[in-house]
Amino acid sequence: MLPPGHEALSVDEGDASPGVDVSSGSAIWESVPRHAFLFYVESLPDEATRHLQVLAPKYRFAASPATGGAYWANHCVRCDAFQEDQDLFCEPEGAFSPVSSAAASRIELLPVAEAIEVSAAGYALDPQFVGL
């Protein structure tokens, strides 16, 4: 989860294709005043990766059986099974899609203090019940 005040790359609708040249002026960094969840995380800087591996050793880069791509994903602490971000972030009552304050209270947010630059295919603003 990103805190309010994080920055997000804003790309003009007509240029929203892979490989947009950010130096062309069609993409700018904008401050976002709200919380946001990132999912389908495709890249993380090495320092953040080392920190995350200490906090959550089952969160690692792996191939997704469902998408055929690879991204940073949670894995089961018991059986090491890949946990699809679609199920965790996009489905009601998924691990990061609580439907009540009680369910949200079971989410443990662990801080990563260093600044990071992340590439992610999923971005959800103001997740309900989380980060309040």
User: Which of 50-59, 65-74, 123-132 is predicted least confidently?
Assistant: 123-132
In the predicted structure, residue 65 carries a pLDDT above the cut 80: yes
pLDDT confidence bin for 38, thresholds 50/70/90:
very high
In this prediction the pTM is 0.78
SS (H, E, C) 45-96: CHHHHHHHHHHCCCCEEEECCCCCCEEEEEECCCCCCEECHHHHHHCCCCCC
